[in-house]
Amino acid sequence: MTNPALHSSAWLIWPVAAPLTGALLTFLFKDHSRRLGLFFAALSSGLGTALAWQILGHGPAHYALGGWQPPLGIALRADGPAALMVMMTAITGLAVSIYSGGYFQSRRRNSKHHALHSAQEHAFWSLWLLLWAALNGLFLSNDIFNIYVSLELVTLSSVGLTALSGKPPSLVAAMRYLLVSLLGSLSFLLGVGFFYKAYGTLALTAIINSLSLSPPTSMALALISIGLLLKSALFPFHFWLPPAHANALTPVSAILSGLVIKGSWYLFYRFWHVELIFTAVGLVPAILGGAAIIWGAWQAFAQQRLKMLVAYSTVAQIGYLFVAFPLLAETSGQGHGALFYFAISHSCAKGAMFLAAGTFFLQMGHDRIRDLAGVRQLLPVSSFAFGLAALTIMGLPPSGGFIAKYLYINTAINQGLWWLALLILLGSGLSAAYIFRAVSAILSPQLLRIRPALVVSASMQWSALTLALISLLLGIIAPLPLALLEVS
């Protein structure tokens, strides 16, 4: 349309349509839910990757659904950041799906409650594929009302996934998660109303490009920001996250920490990615992010259970996703690179970490950190995966986390934001402290007195390791994702 570089491409609908079809089919055909689920996960992952490849080669694309042009129809739009997020979902999503295939089988084999586990698996596949479609819809929409609908779909499917284990703590956590998320979505919707009143359009790019801070648009932006911060669980809105993430079934924990959080964070980035805003209030997310880094690391250090430790680590890492907002003011684009690099490497590393922690849980029947000593003899591959993921979370070279933190500190020093550079270094030190607590227990040379039979399948161990390796590899292939991000 106005931008000649923008080409129309039907590739945009497939990353949404494929998982959505999968969700319906897995729901209808109960007996084949695993096979169908794995097939559609592979298909969605392939189509997501294909889209990212297209965008890298041909530049940003748009697509008007049903041939209806924007004021009436819904427009999809993919530029570099959106394609990178779709790609991230494709990689983490595929690894989690392969893990889930083995996870539910192992649980069923080692329990008397066959019917319960089958019902859980059936519900898991349709909810997970629905969530996948909703996330891709969120990343690719250019219509803020359609984004609201995607946000609600993400909420409802992830609440369903959280409650799936059926245990009282996860039910209570899911209820709280639902209420917080509903509050966030409603706040977002009221903001959409204010934006429509001010600009008479729902197109995200049009709103962002003509943004000026008058009272109604400030109100809209405040409502939308608060809603998204609630959903992203940025300190002090993090209270609902640890119980929800730690008590869910393992694949669900990995999905929630690795992907769902990134959805609302990405939208926040979209709305805040305007110079006007961070000169006015850019320090607010940075200060909250700094508090999250310190508080999350402190709480993670105090946890007795491995999954709780990993969940509080997510609270701290969300802080890094927001602390860098003042860095976006720099025009070189290095700030954006740092931010997105952190997001994708965290997605892979935290996914791998939760998957490995869940494998320990299933094998040992608990996840008390001090009683995990000796687990590496039983599960060498998962222990290695946990260790590799820990490298990225701590930000040691050559991992993706290292590149992200290096870019953060470099950009911060270039802009004279010394306190920010120091804060990031301090956060890395704190994360090393809690990570070492977990890793030293898992890798301790202590021998197990009794050697129980292995109950977990190989696919669970190797999928976690692959994801951890990808998070490490991101440090080596840094130019490729950064080139994709530049497309805009």
Partner 1 sequence: MTMLSPSLIYGLTGLLLFVMGLAGLLGCAELLRKILATNIMASGIFLFLITIAHGSGTLIDPVPQAMVLTGIVVSVSSTAVALALACHVQEAARRHDLLQKKRGTVRR
Can you give the binding site for partner 1, defined by CB under 8 A? 71-72, 145, 148-149, 152, 155-156, 159-160, 163, 166, 168, 171-172, 174-175, 178-179, 182-183, 185-186, 189-190, 192-193, 196-197, 202
- The whole-angstrom separation of Cα 360 and Cα 372 is 8
- The whole-angstrom separation of Cα 201 and Cα 207 is 7
Cα 234 from chain centroid (whole Å): 13
Place of tokens 């993670």: 300
Query: What is the smallest separation between the CB atom of 145 and partner 1, expressed in angstroms?
Result: 5
Judged by CB, which is closer to partner 1: 124, or 269?
A: 124
Judged by CB, which is closer to partner 1: 154, or 478?
A: 154
User: Omega of the bond prior to 216 within 30 degrees of 0, cis?
Assistant: no
Residues 6 or more apart in contact with residue 153 via CB below 8 angstroms = 130, 131, 133, 134, 137
SS3 481: helix
Residues 6 or more apart in contact with residue 182 via CB below 8 angstroms = 155
What DSSP letter does each residue of 356-396 carry, written as one string? HHHHHHHHHS--BGGGGTTHHHH-HHHHHHHHHHHHHHHT-
Query: What is the smallest separation between the CB atom of 179 and partner 1, expressed in angstroms?
Result: 6
Judged by CB, which is closer to partner 1: 72, or 115?
A: 72
Query: What is the smallest separation between the CB atom of 385 and partner 1, expressed in angstroms?
Result: 33
Judged by CB, which is closer to partner 1: 145, or 301?
A: 145
Query: What is the smallest separation between the CB atom of 93 and partner 1, expressed in angstroms?
Result: 23
Query: What is the smallest separation between the CB atom of 210 and partner 1, expressed in angstroms?
Result: 18
Give rounded-to-5 percent helix, strand, coil for the chain: 80, 5, 20
Query: What is the smallest separation between the CB atom of 175 and partner 1, expressed in angstroms?
Result: 5
DSSP summary character for residue 474: T
What DSSP letter does each residue of 144-198 carry, written as one string? HHHHHHHHHHHHHHHHHHHGGG--HHHHHHHHHHHHHHHHHHHHHHHHHHHHHHH
- The whole-angstrom separation of Cα 426 and Cα 420 is 10
Angstrom CA distances, 228 to 163, 190, 204, 272, stand at 22, 13, 15, 11
Judged by CB, which is closer to partner 1: 73, or 452?
A: 73
Judged by CB, which is closer to partner 1: 228, or 412?
A: 228
Residues 6 or more apart in contact with residue 53 via CB below 8 angstroms = none
Query: What is the smallest separation between the CB atom of 155 and partner 1, expressed in angstroms?
Result: 7
- The whole-angstrom separation of Cα 317 and Cα 424 is 11
Judged by CB, which is closer to partner 1: 149, or 291?
A: 149
Residues 6 or more apart in contact with residue 473 via CB below 8 angstroms = 400
Judged by phi (left if over 0) then psi (alpha if -120 to 50, else beta), residue 74 lies in: beta
Query: What is the smallest separation between the CB atom of 7 and partner 1, expressed in angstroms?
Result: 27
Strands 75-78, 61-64: parallel, antiparallel or unpaired by DSSP?
antiparallel
Judged by CB, which is closer to partner 1: 145, or 298?
A: 145
- The whole-angstrom separation of Cα 338 and Cα 341 is 5
- The whole-angstrom separation of Cα 392 and Cα 474 is 10
Place of tokens 């966030």: 184
